[in-house]
Amino acid sequence: MNVESERDWRLLASRLGYSADDVRHWATQPDPCLSLLDEWFATHRTREATYGLLKLLVEMDRTDAAAIVDKALDAVGQSLLVVRPRRQCVA
């Protein structure tokens, strides 16, 4: 998510509630997205932080990034099932 786009780490930072000053600081780091995520997980409970991150990634149409997180959770037996498509019942 470090590649500049409309749905990059900057949008994620904004959606997570971080300030423009925070974004400017992370922009100076070698891996801004990792710096953002380090801060996010350092200040939030792990399960809630992960769920919130996945939800925002899906809302941002970054299912590519959400799938990576979900796959990592699957690997440790803790998938939150956020990015898997839901089947709708047809009456």
Ranges 7-11, 45-49, 71-75, 82-86: which has the least confidence: 82-86
In a domain, 22, yes or no: yes
Q: Name the token pair of 51.
A: 């769920």
CA dist., res. 89 & res. 7, Å (int): 32
pLDDT grade, residue 79 (50/70/90)? low
Does residue 86 belong to any structural domain of this protein? no
Judge whether 87 lies within some domain.
no
In a domain, 82, yes or no: no
In a domain, 27, yes or no: yes
- What is the pLDDT confidence band of residue 77, given thresholds at 50, 70 and 90? confident
72 versus 31: the higher-pLDDT residue is 31
Amino acid occupying residue 35? S
- Helix pair angle (32-43, 20-27), 10° resolution: 130
pLDDT at 86: 44
Q: Map tokens 């009456």 to a residue.
A: 91
> What is the number of structural domains in the chain?
1
In a domain, 88, yes or no: no
Asked if residue 84 is part of any domain, the answer here is: no
Tokens read off for 82 = 């956020």
The two three-digit tokens of residue 45, written as one number:
């409970």
Tokens of 22: 């925070």
- Domain extent at residue 52: 9-75
Residue at 1 is within a domain: no
Per-residue pLDDT tens over the stretch 3-61 = 999 999 999 999 999 999 999 999 999 999 999 999 999 999 888 888 889 999 999 99
**Given this model, what pLDDT does residue 47 score?**
83
